[in-house]
Amino acid sequence: MSDLTLTIGDKNLSSWSFRPWFLMTQAGIPFTEENIKLDQPETRKVLTEKSPSGLVPFLTHGEIQIWDSLAIAEYLSDLFPEKQLWPQDMAARAFARSISAEMHSGFSALRNVWPMHFLREDLNHLTSGGVQREIDRIDHLWTEARTKFGTKANDDEGFLFGKFSIADALYAPVVSRFITYGPVKLSDEAAAYMETMSALPAWRQWGEGARVEVGGTQ
Ligand SMILES: N[C@@H](CCC(=O)N[C@@H](CS)C(=O)NCC(=O)O)C(=O)O
């Protein structure tokens, strides 16, 4: 049993939970998963008792608790330096940190108008409220990451910076939204990036977990 416990919300809906779960699973970091069902009468009480922030996700490592997806990612990067969760090249790392921070603090139109529904691929394509502007920005960021860094890396595996990194985990729920509400118009590089992400075993595993949670109804 691992000494790391990641507490998350519903797999179909909790985009913030998806990020550290996907990071740890794809990077091969062992952990115990704890699930809290959101939107239930008892959810607030459970979260208030257990979570430092009253939200999911949070990570427990012995006496230490880390909350908020980006802080969890940084903690894991410190704990497992050999996993190289940030790109090794300094310019690539600066870009990766910038786009991860931009994801973490921004894209509110996309988050509000297109909430994550991991299991759906057929929802209406509503691009009001700044959504299209944010799609364009993400298309630009993914394309720039791939062409400037990803494709130039010796060990390019199709991720934003070649090898899998925290930036990919931060953008995983966006890939899911683009599948759910798409098709969205993207550059060839960005579209290929989506294919890489959604073909991963960790992606499938999250989807299988989501399907079990909803009782196979979606
Ligand atoms: N900034 C936080 C956001 C966490 C967050 O908003 N989590 C939502 C679920 S995705 C939550 O816990 N909501 C509590 C509730 O629905 O009661 C992070 O990066 O982890």
Return the CATH number at 48.
3.40.30.10
- Torsion from C-alpha of 72, 172, 98, 190, nearest 10 degrees: 160
In a domain, residue 213? The reply is no
Cα 55 to averaged position of ligand 1 atoms, centre (Å): 5
CA dihedral 19, 25, 31, 34 (to 10 degrees): 50
Tens digits of residue pLDDT in 115-158: 999 999 989 777 777 999 999 999 999 999 999 999 999 989 99
Q: At what angle do helices 15-27 and 69-79 cross, to 10 degrees?
A: 10
**CA nearest ligand 1 atom 16, residue:** 38
Does residue 128 sit within a domain?
Answer: yes
What percentage of the chain reaches a pLDDT higher than 90? 92
Whole-number pLDDT of residue 89: 97
pTM for the model stands at: 0.97
Residue 169 lies in a domain: yes
Same domain flag for 50 and 134: no
Per-state percent for the chain, helix, strand, coil, to nearest 5 = 55, 10, 35
Write down how long the chain is.
218
Residue nearest to atom 18 of ligand 1 (CA): 68
**Distance from Cα 173 to the centre of ligand 1, integer Å:** 13
Look at residue 102 and tell me if it is in a domain: yes
Distance CA 22, CA 42 (A): 27
Q: What is the CATH number of the domain that holds 173?
A: 1.20.1050
Q: Within this chain, do residues 105 and 33 fall inside the same structural domain, yes or no?
A: no
Cβ 184 under 6 angstroms from ligand 1: no
Among 35, 55, 118, the mutation site with the greatest number of ligand 1 atoms within 8 A of its Cβ is 55
The count of structural domains within the chain is: 2
Q: Is residue 69 within 6 Å of ligand 1 at its C-beta?
A: yes
Check whether residue 185 and residue 118 sit in a common domain.
yes
Q: Name residues of the chain where pLDDT drops below 50.
A: none
Question: Are 96 and 64 part of one and the same domain?
Answer: no
Which pLDDT value is given to residue 1?
56
In a domain, 48, yes or no: yes
Q: Are residues 197 and 94 in the same domain?
A: yes
43 Cβ closer than 6 Å to some ligand 1 atom: yes
Query: What is the strand order of the sheet 64-67 is part of?
Result: 32-35, 4-8, 58-61, 64-67
**Domain interval for residue 52:** 4-83
